[in-house]
Homo-oligomer: A and B are copies of this chain.
Amino acid sequence: MTELLPVAVLGARGRMGSEAVRAIGAAPDLDLVAALGSSDPLESLVSAGAAVVVDLTVPEATASNVRFLVDHGMHAVVGTTGWTADRLAELEAQLAGSPATGVLIAPNFALGSVLASAFAATAARYFESVEIIELHHPDKVDAPSGTAARTAQLIASARAAAGVPLAPDATRDELDGARGARVDGVPVHSVRLRGLTAHQEVLLGSPGEQLTIRHDSYDRASFMPGVLLGIRSVAGHPGLTVGLDGYLDLQTGGRS
């Protein structure tokens, strides 16, 4: 008989948290031993015997939550934002004294989105041109999206590291805004359309060919496979990992 992995969720009443509770409950290899809301004491995690704890709370609470978890030798899978460089440095210092404990801090649990960003950054140095189109519902207040901005930064830094010049652009006569926003020199275009959720396309071009990497996110359900992968993998990755891609095998690739 296989032993089940005892898992707990912090922020279990939130939108992401309640999805996670459902997904863990449905996973045959996981045992949900605690589902805490903001007023529940963290101590109950200890008595519940949680080995892995998922933090889906709020920026104000996450750093002290994770400190508690590492103190008690529990692995942490964190989807909450608000991790400044200072907080990360403190956490790394704490983890140095707890070498068997793993912490994953993942700003994005959608596997497809994480893979798309990694692929775009990998491909960026091999093409003359690269641009990003992101498409969202029209109730979004920021443009471009945070994911698009981060993808552009990854692309720009991969190109800079490989010595690739800026993409060619002969535009002389531009209606203001037509060529998009520039993030580290990469043009980013933001479409807002009723009916859409969250979508991103990276277009790469060279003489005679084009590579397009597109991710469509239709539903919050898309985060759950990444959360489960984090839960199952965190014990095997002691120390701090930032970004779910740190747990992915990006080298399967193989011969073509």
A→B interface (CB under 8 Å): 107-108, 110-119, 121-131, 133, 135, 138-144, 147, 149-151, 154, 157-158, 161, 167-183, 187-197, 203-225, 229, 242-246, 248-256
In the bound complex, residues from chain B placing their C-beta under 8 Å from that of A122 are: 115, 119, 249-253
B114, B141, B183, B215: which contacts A171 (Cβ < 8 A)? B141
B209, B250, B255: which contacts A195 (Cβ < 8 A)? B209
Are the C-beta atoms of B121 and A126 separated by less than 8 Å?
Answer: no
B129, B174, B196, B249: which contacts A194 (Cβ < 8 A)? B129
In the bound complex, residues from chain B placing their C-beta under 8 Å from that of A223 are: 208
B154, B208, B248, B254: which contacts A126 (Cβ < 8 A)? B248
Bound Cα distance A171, B136 (Å): 11
**With contact pairs A140-B170, A250-B251 given, residues A210 and B193 touching in the complex (Cβ less than 8 Å):** yes
Bound Cα distance A207, B226 (Å): 11
In the bound complex, residues from chain B placing their C-beta under 8 Å from that of A171 are: 140-143, 190, 192
Are the C-beta atoms of A225 and B210 separated by less than 8 Å?
Answer: no
A-B contact pairs, 13 of them (CB 8 A): A118-B256, A129-B138, A138-B170, A143-B173, A167-B193, A168-B192, A171-B192, A180-B180, A197-B218, A207-B219, A211-B214, A213-B214, A214-B214
